[in-house]
Amino acid sequence: MTPRLIRFNKPYGVLSQFTAEGKWQGLKDYIALPGVYVAGRLDADSEGLLLLTNDGPLQARIADPRFKMEKTYWVQVEGIPDEAALATL
């Protein structure tokens, strides 16, 4: 098996899973590669880089909290957030 690592710019309204649920689309509407799995997740109402792989150990290193892989998130907010909003974020 050749290891694969797919970078996908997940749009708003798409779940970080292949199966759709309710009003949310699934990845199967965008990715037609059998045997790849999501490494991590983004909420359906967010967008950004999502990694998929067919390499189980790599997927675990990226997604499993035990490995504490550092991740950076950028957020966009409306208006100027106060200290309480920043703490929540």
> Looking at the annotation, which residues are catalytic?
43
Task: Record the tokens describing residue 67, joined without a space.
Answer: 């490995």
26 to 11, 21, 58, 88: CA distances (angstroms): 11, 7, 22, 28
Which residues share a beta bridge with 10? 48
Rounded-to-integer distance, Cα 17 and Cα 40, Å: 10
